Structure 1
Amino acid sequence: MHIIKSKFLFLFIAFGFMRLSAQADFKLSNFSLTPLAYNPAYAGSNGGISLTSVYSSQWVGFPGAPKTILFNGHQAISDRLMGLGVNAEIDKRGTEEETKLVANYAYHLYLNNYWQISMGIKAGVQNYVVDYSLLSIENPSEFIAGIGEQKTLNYIFGTGFYLYNKNFFIGASIPNLIKPNLLDSRNSIISQQSMNYYLSSGYKIYTNENIYIQPTFLTRLVKGAPVSTLISMNFNSKNEIYASANFEFKSSIGLFAGIRIYENYLFGYAFDKSITKFNSQNNGIHSFYINFNIEGRDNRPCSCYNF
């Protein structure tokens, strides 16, 4: 088989395996900076208004490499007792394109003067498209999925919580309790994602009044796939300069740097390098961040993450 056809076939098999085994696609290192994407209880946690946009290009230099555009927006309301948010995602992977639009709601409850708990729900839709015409199929008549674009609309309903104070947080979530399906031209199920479970925690260690470091972890559990755990060490100086180093077991290492200008705007860049046997076949993962934040930077009620 021609070398180009071989590459496309490899990508199709690889992405198909990820879909069948329910491996989530977005890197944990990006998820750690956009927690609303997987935990609705994060909505309103900054005490103000926060808008974040991310562009991520994975496996640079590899044919059909994943590209993701992510938007998160959330706001605290009702004297910071509730939060509303929305997240949208466009994820392209070889022959696949996945689009999500999700609304989030969270309620923040005071347990005492020191601890709070937030409980959230998310609901939305997922449009999943596979364009089989981009593949080189030797016998199209025997390909049961059908040739051309196949579209599947799935619904999303998820939940999560955070237990937190000014320095510590722990959270758990299931972003979608409804297993998404991929349908063929006859509306028969040819694959189904399993549920993703997330667990996260972190603790702020202040070196002085304005500077702290925050070790965190984010773990993703999916049936049929290896456990993924990201360990991060985050640095924050006066809520103006941000930095982070991360390590995902048997997957990647990475760095993030960001600076806030004009008080409300943060610009950041992250680079992750694969430490798997494919590291020589790609040029890493490049991610660009823009965040707009008002009211909540200096007196945020939740210690969860930096933004």
Structure 2
Amino acid sequence: MGNLRKSGFLLLLFFSAFKMYAQQTVQFSQYVFNGLAVNPAYAGYREDWTGSLSYRMQWAGINGAPRTAVASFDGVTNDYEKRVGLGFIAINDRLGAQSTSSLYGNYAYRLQIDDDEERRLSFGIAFGVTQYGIDGTKLNAVDPNDTSIPTGNESKIYPDFRVGVYYSDPRYYISASVLDMFSAYRDQITTDDNYKILKQVRHLYISAGAIFPLSEVLDIKPTFMIKEDFRGPTNLDLNAYLLINKRLWIGGSYRTGVSLWKKSNLQKGLEKSNALAAIVEVFVSDRFRVGYSFDYSTNALASYQQGSHEVTLSMTFPRKNYNLMNPKYF
């Protein structure tokens, strides 16, 4: 009976989104450790070439719940000037029978605004393609002759681009970006066989954070991120981390909806509180980092699932003049 309730809830969620022909972009609790996922101007921030992998299993226990995987690689093209950052990112997101796969090439021009090369203002752009798909074998039709459900895999590929700006110095950062720029020009996605597929909508991301020393072995890093799609509720992530001995990050996150302005299309009485997250990041060595986070839903969805799990891995390939005295905290 419990599995039936969970599956029914997911189907309701899925077909509600199906009716709107739109969905939100991927959600990560550890976004602050891989800024390229939300901002092309982040490319080259760490300067050394860095590869990252992230996997998120959302709403564990619900059949067909969102599963997201991200792989990225970025760095600067010139060790001396460090003005140009390049990066590549691949994203695969699945929700029930729906899938979205994207591949982007990222370019960032990094302006040096001080003589010590510690402050940078970056402007970034990313071009790529997104494949939207639906797998009819994962849908159970009440009417076997229902022609609105595909018998196999149906997909459509579209071009897309992203833009962003990113400021950073050793103690804080400010980030703003817009993703899925071309989505506004697509009312809906229809395959050659006339099947409707959900599309991602344009998103604005605004984020900032800072790090403050508390002692020789303790630092604190508060951050926030606003995620806006101009149609649904505005999302706000509030995070705080403790850095212990420059090796171990321990933190927490609170995710909620906020009302920045009145949206007439929103249903009244929506619950704003979304989730709490516990986050741990460990620098196993100067080059290798591993992280884990667990999200606990604070809304009505809590009774249908066992939380969300997220794992991240990061490997840095230092250049010849690698300097541990100027670490990157964002």
Q: Under TM normalisation by the shorter chain, which class is it? A: 0.7 to 0.9
Q: Distance in 1 between matches of 2:279 and 2:2?
A: 36
Deviation at 1:80, TM superposition (A): 1.7
> Does structure 1 residue 273 correspond to structure 2 residue 296?
yes
Written as runs of structure 1 = structure 2, the 5 A alignment for 1:140-219 is 141-144=145-148, 146-179=150-183, 181-187=188-194, 191-208=198-215, 211-219=218-226
Q: Which structure's relative contact order is higher, taking Cα pairs within 8 Å and 6+ residues apart?
A: 1
Q: Report the counterpart of residue 14 of structure 1 in structure 2.
A: 13
Task: Give the corresponding residue for 1:40.
Answer: 40
Deviation at 1:275, TM superposition (A): 0.6
Would you say the 8 A contact 1:71–1:87 is kept in 2? Answer: yes
Any stretches of 5+ residues in structure 1 without a counterpart? Answer: none
Whether the aligned pair in 2 keeps the contact of 1:257 and 1:270 (CA below 8 Å) is yes
Distance 1:127 1:23, change over 3 A: closer
One-letter identity of the residue aligned with 1:17: S
Aligned counterpart, 2:234: 227
AA in 2 matched with 1:298 = L
The reply to whether residue 284 of structure 1 matches residue 307 of structure 2 is yes
Aligned residue number for residue 31 of structure 1 = 31
Pairwise CA RMSD of aligned residues?
2.6
Q: What percent of counterpart residues are identical? A: 24
Contact map agreement 1:239 1:297 (CA 8 A) in 2: no
For residue 80 of structure 1, what is the aligned residue in structure 2? 82
How much has 1:51 moved relative to structure 2?
A: 1.1
Q: Work out the CA distance in 2 between the residues paired with 1:47 and 1:299.
A: 14
Q: Distance in 2 between matches of 1:279 and 1:10?
A: 12
Aligned-pair CA distance for 1:5: 7.8
**Partners in 2 of 1:297 and 1:248 — Cα distance?**
35
Matched residue count: 303
Aligned with 1:110 (options 88, 109, 112) = 112
The equivalent residue for 1:298 is: 324
Deviation (angstroms), 1:221: 0.3
Matched-pair contact (CA < 8 Å) for 2:132–2:198: no
Contact 1:165 1:301 in 2 (8 A): no
Residues 193-238 of structure 1: CA deviation (Å, up to 9, x unaligned): 3211100011111124554211110111012210011000022234
The one of 109, 114, 134 equivalent to 1:130 is 134
Which of 65-74 and 230-239 deviates more?
Answer: 230-239
Matched-pair contact (CA < 8 Å) for 1:122–1:175: no
Q: TM-score, normalised by structure 1?
A: 0.88
Moved more, 223-232 or 2-11: 2-11
Q: Summarize the Cα distance change of 1:209–1:43 in structure 2 as closer, same or farther, 3 Å threshold.
A: farther
Alignment partners' CA distance in 1, 2:151 and 2:164: 39
- Compute the displacement of 1:161 (Å): 0.3
After superposition, what is the alpha-carbon deviation per residue over 1:5-41, rounded to whole angstroms, capped at 9, x for unaligned?
8865643441243463744252241433322011000
The verdict on how the C-alpha distance between 1:237 and 1:18 changes in structure 2, with shifts beyond 3 A counting, is: farther
Shift of 1:112: 3.7
TM value normalised by structure 2? 0.82
Shift of 1:48: 1.0
Q: Unaligned 5+ residue runs, structure 2?
A: 257-272
Task: Check conservation: 1:47, 1:300, Cα contact below 8 A.
Answer: no
Question: Partner amino acid for 1:224?
Answer: R
Q: For 2:167 and 2:285, how far apart are their aligned partners in 1? A: 32
Give the C-alpha shift of residue 259 in structure 1: 1.6
Match of 1:93 in 2: 95
Give the distance between the partners of 2:223 and 2:198, measured in 1 at CA: 34
Amino acid at match of 1:45: Y
